[in-house]
Structure 1
Amino acid sequence: MRSCLTVLCALLIASNALGQPLEMPTEVSGPPAMLDAPQPLTLEEAESIAIASHPAIAEQQAMIRAARGECLQVGLAPNPTAGYTASEVGNEGNAGQQGLYVGQQFIRGNKLQLNRQVASQQVHVLEQQLTAEMLRVRTRVRIALYKVLLTQRQVDLTTGLVDVSKQAAKTVSDLFDAKEARRLDVLQAQIESDRILVKLRQAEANRDAAWRELAVAMGQPTTARRDVQADLESLGWAYDWDTSRQMLLEGSPELAALMMDVERARAAVARACAEPISDVSAQVSVQYDDSTEDTVTGIQVGMPIPIWNRNQGGIAKARNELTAAQRRLEAYELQLTSQLAEKLRQYSAAKAQADAYRGGILQRAEENLSLTRESYQAGESNYLELLTVQRTYFESNLDYLGSLGEVNRSVQLLNGFLLGEPTE
C-alpha cells in the first residue's frame, strides 16, 4: 500500500505540473513555426496532386485516345488499287496487251457508319470509366488523408500521457534517492512509463504508415511526410435510404459505363445484321494491243453472293452479347443496392458510436479521472484504481478516434458512389 501511495503521489505531482486532466486535442499540433516548414496538406491539394499524377488516370486517358483513333480508323473507306496488267505476251512474237488498271471496293449497307457507331459507344464507355477512376482515386485520397489526421491525433494523445508518466517516474526516482520511496515504487512507475512509451511508438508507426498510404493514393509514393489539415467532426450523411439509392443509381459512373456498353452492344447487333449485304468491287483497265495497235478497255465488277454465309453466327453472337450486357447492367444495379445497404448500416453504427463518445462518454471519462485523482489524493482510493481510470480515459479517446475513422470511411465511399474501397 505504501508503494502504491508513493507512486500515485508522484503521478499526481507530474499531472499537476502539466496542468489539468489530459484532453484529446481538437486540432493537430505541429512543431514550432519555421521559415522553411512545409504548410499542412489540405484535402483540396491532395486531390489535385492525385488527379494530376496518378498513373491509373493517365492510363485511362490514353485508352480513350486510343479508342478515338480506332473510331476514326474503322470508318475509313478502303484505299483504291492500281497496277500494271499484261496478257498474251509473246503471242506470235508480239508484246501482247499491256496497260494499267485501277480498282475500288465499295462498302455497302452503311457498314462504315455502323463501325463508327460501335467504336464511338466504346469511347463513351471508357469516358465513364475515366470518371469512375477519378472518383476512385479521390475517394482513396480522402479516406487516407483523414486516416493520417486520426493517427496524428493518436500521437498527440499518447504524447500527453508519455509526458505525465515520465514526470511521475522521475518524481518517484527522486523520492527513492531521498530514502522516501522503495525500489518497488520506482520499478512500478518505470513500467507504466515504458508501457505508454511503447504505445507512443506504435502510434507514430501507424501515423507513418498512414502517410505512406496517402502518398501512394496521391501517386507520389516518395513524398516526404507532412501534417494534414481537415475538418473531421463535421463529416456526415444526411440522406435517407430512398434518396441515397436514387442518387447512387443516377450518379454512378460505373453504372453509366454499363449503360453505354449496352448501347455499344446494340450498335454491334446492327453492324452484324448489315454484314450479309455484299460489298462491290470494281476494276477498270486500259491496255494497248501490240498486234492490232488498238487501245482496249476492260471493266470488271463483282460481289460475293450470300447463299451459305449470311453471318448467322455473328448475328447470334451480337444479340446474345446485347442480352448479356443488359443482364450485367441489372445485376450491377442490384449489387450497388446491396453495397449501399451495408455502407449505410456501417455509417449509422459508427456515427452512433462517435456521437455517444462525443456526447457523454469522453466527458464522463475525464470527470471520472479528475475525481479519482482527488479521491486518491485524499487517501480514499489506491494507485491501481487511478491507473485503471487513466487507462479507461485513454482507451475511450482511442475508441472515439476509431469510430471517427469508420464514419470517415463510410461517408467518403457514399460520396464516391461506393468507388475507391481501399484494399485490405
Structure 2
Amino acid sequence: MTLNDFEAIAFANNPTIQQLEATTRKAAGFRTQVGLRPNPVVGYQAMQLADAGTDQHVAFLSQTFVTADKLELNRRVLNEALRAQLFQLEAQKYRISTDIRVKFYDALAAQRRMRLIEDFQSVADRGLEIAEELKSAKEGSQLEVVQAKVQKNEVDLALRNASIRFEAVWRELVALTGSPEMLPVSLDGELPQAETSLDWSSVASSIVSSSPEYQAARARVSQARANITRQDVQAVPNIDLQFGAGVDNATDSGMINLQVSAPIPVFNKNQGNMSAARAELSRACMEVRRIENSIKARLAEVSQAYDSSLASVSMYAEEILPNAAEGLKLAETAYKSGETSFLQVLVARRTYFDTNLQYIVAQAQLAQARARVDGYVLTGALDPIIDNSGDDSLRGLTLSQQ
C-alpha cells in the first residue's frame, strides 16, 4: 500500500471528518433558520356570545414586520460561523494527512529496518560459520566462535524488536485511517535521500497566512464584528400589524379592525448584548494572535528536527556510510591475510550495521519533519472535535424584541 492509499482510506473513514461535516451542515441549517421571516397569524374572535342578537364575529390576520434589516444581519453573522466551520474542516483534513504521513514514514522505516536486519542476518550467519570453520582448522579460537554467536544473537533480537515495532506502528497507522481491522501488508514508498534547506522566516510567513487554522480564527473575528453590527440594531422596534374583518349582528353591519403596535425600548436597549459582542470581538482578535504564535512555536520545533535530520542524512550518505563500508571491507581483507583479529571484523560489521540503521532513522525523521511542514504543522487526527456550529438564538432575539 502507498501513502496515497492510506490517505484516501482516512478521508473516507476517519470519524472526525464526518463529525466536522455534520457540524458544518448544522451551521448551514442555523444560518438558514435565523434569516426566516416570522409566520403570519390567522384567527377568529367572537364577542358577546351570551347576548343573543348582539354578538360580533371577526376574522383577523396579524403579521410581525422585522425592521432594521435584522434578518439579513442574522444571516451575515451565521455565514461567518459557517465559513469558520469550513476552514476547520479543511484544517482537520491537514491534521489527518500529517498524522498519516508521519506514521506511514515511521512504519516504512520499521519495514526498512526489518529488511536491513534480514540482510545482515546472512552476514552474521556466515561470520559464525567462518569462525567455526577456522576453529576446526586450528586457525581460530573458541572465543571467536562465541563472539560471532553473540553478534548473531544480537542481530536476531534486533530483527524481533523491529518486527514488533512494525506491528505496533501499523496498528497506530490503521487506527488513524478509521479502519483498525486492516491486517499488515507491505508498504510501497521511499525515504528521502536529500531535501532542500528552508528559509524558516519565509516558511513561517507562508504558513501563517495560508493555514486553515489561522483562517478559521480570522473568520471568527469577522463573525464577532458582524454580531456587533447586529446587536446595535436590536433596539429598533419591530412592527406588529393586525387586520380584522367581521359582522355585528346587533346592527347587521360589517366591521373592520386595524391594530398597529411596537415595543418601546425604554428599559431594555440591548446594552448587555452589545457589551458582550464587543468583548467577544476582543477575545476573537486575541485568539488570532494566539494561533499565529502557536504556529510559529510549532514550526520552530519542527525546524530543529528538519535541519538536524537533513544534516544527518547528508552526512550519512556522503561520509559515514561509505567509510563504514570501506572499513568493513578492509577489516575482512586484513583478517583473511592474518593482519588483524576477528574482534576487529566484528566491530567493523557492527559499525556498518549500526550506521545503516541510524541512516534509516535520520531519513524517517527528515520525512516526518517535511510532512509536518507541508501540513501547516497541524496534528491531532483523532483529537476531540469542538462544535462551533453556533445556534439559532439570534432568531429568538429578533422576534422577541427583548
Q: TM-score range by the shorter chain?
A: 0.7 to 0.9
Distance 2:361 2:380 in 1: 18
> How do 1:280-319 and structure 2 match up within 5 A?
280-319=239-278
1:123 aligns with 2:91: no
Distance 1:294 1:237 in 2: 94
Deviations 1:141-197 (A, max 9, x none): 222222222111100111122223334445666788999988766555444322211
1:74 to 13, 20, 34: 34
1:340 aligns with 2:299: yes
2:10 to 50, 61, 70: 50
Q: Per the alignment, do residues 189 and 341 of structure 1 end up closer, same or farther by CA in structure 2, a change over 3 Å counting?
A: closer
What corresponds to 2:238 in structure 1? 279
Distance 1:244 1:343 in 2: 11
> How do 1:79-158 and structure 2 match up within 5 A?
79-91=39-51, 93-94=52-53, 96-158=55-117
* Secondary structure of the corresponding residue to residue 228 of structure 1: coil
Amino acid at match of 1:217: L
What corresponds to 2:400 in structure 1? none
> How do 1:194-213 and structure 2 match up within 5 A?
194-213=153-172
Report if aligned partners of 1:237, 1:411 keep a CA contact under 8 Å in 2. Answer: no
What corresponds to 1:398 in structure 2? 357
Q: Per the alignment, do residues 203 and 346 of structure 1 end up closer, same or farther by CA in structure 2, a change over 3 Å counting?
A: same
Structure 1, unaligned runs of 5 or more: 1-40
Q: Per the alignment, do residues 378 and 171 of structure 1 end up closer, same or farther by CA in structure 2, a change over 3 Å counting?
A: closer
Report if aligned partners of 1:122, 1:261 keep a CA contact under 8 Å in 2. Answer: yes
1:244 aligns with 2:203: yes
> How do 1:14-53 and structure 2 match up within 5 A?
41-53=1-13
Q: Per the alignment, do residues 234 and 83 of structure 1 end up closer, same or farther by CA in structure 2, a change over 3 Å counting?
A: farther
* Secondary structure of the corresponding residue to residue 255 of structure 1: helix
- Following superposition, the deviation at residue 319 of structure 1 comes to 0.8
- Following superposition, the deviation at residue 363 of structure 1 comes to 0.9
* Secondary structure of the corresponding residue to residue 227 of structure 1: coil
* Secondary structure of the corresponding residue to residue 59 of structure 2: strand
For normalisation by structure 2, the TM-score amounts to 0.88
- Following superposition, the deviation at residue 364 of structure 1 comes to 0.7
Report if aligned partners of 2:239, 2:260 keep a CA contact under 8 Å in 1. Answer: yes
Distance 2:355 2:155 in 1: 15
* Secondary structure of the corresponding residue to residue 17 of structure 2: helix
What corresponds to 2:391 in structure 1? none
Distance 2:54 2:193 in 1: 94
Distance 1:72 1:357 in 2: 60
Answer 1 or 2: higher relative contact order, Cα 8 Å, separation at least 6. Answer: 2
- Following superposition, the deviation at residue 307 of structure 1 comes to 0.7
1:331 aligns with 2:290: yes
Distance 1:405 1:115 in 2: 50
Report if aligned partners of 1:235, 1:411 keep a CA contact under 8 Å in 2. Answer: no
Deviations 1:215-263 (A, max 9, x none): 2232222222222222322563443133212211221111111111110
2:189 to 224, 230, 236: 230
For normalisation by structure 1, the TM-score amounts to 0.83
Amino acid at match of 2:80: Q
* Secondary structure of the corresponding residue to residue 268 of structure 2: coil
Deviations 1:22-47 (A, max 9, x none): xxxxxxxxxxxxxxxxxxx2223332
* Secondary structure of the corresponding residue to residue 229 of structure 1: coil
Q: Per the alignment, do residues 171 and 236 of structure 1 end up closer, same or farther by CA in structure 2, a change over 3 Å counting?
A: closer
Distance 1:268 1:352 in 2: 51
- Following superposition, the deviation at residue 359 of structure 1 comes to 1.0
Q: Per the alignment, do residues 81 and 229 of structure 1 end up closer, same or farther by CA in structure 2, a change over 3 Å counting?
A: same
Q: Per the alignment, do residues 232 and 175 of structure 1 end up closer, same or farther by CA in structure 2, a change over 3 Å counting?
A: closer
Distance 1:305 1:224 in 2: 70
Range with greater deviation from structure 2 (261-270 or 156-165): 156-165
Amino acid at match of 1:73: Q
- Following superposition, the deviation at residue 199 of structure 1 comes to 0.7
* Secondary structure of the corresponding residue to residue 379 of structure 2: coil
* Secondary structure of the corresponding residue to residue 264 of structure 2: coil
Deviations 1:114-144 (A, max 9, x none): 0000111111101111111111111122222
Distance 1:120 1:373 in 2: 73
Report if aligned partners of 1:42, 1:228 keep a CA contact under 8 Å in 2. Answer: yes
Distance 1:251 1:204 in 2: 40
Structure 2, unaligned runs of 5 or more: 384-402
Range with greater deviation from structure 2 (323-332 or 237-246): 237-246
1:363 aligns with 2:326: no
1:381 to 316, 340, 350: 340
* Secondary structure of the corresponding residue to residue 260 of structure 2: strand
Range with greater deviation from structure 2 (78-87 or 219-228): 219-228
Deviations 1:262-303 (A, max 9, x none): 101100111111111111111122233233333222222111
1:267 aligns with 2:257: no
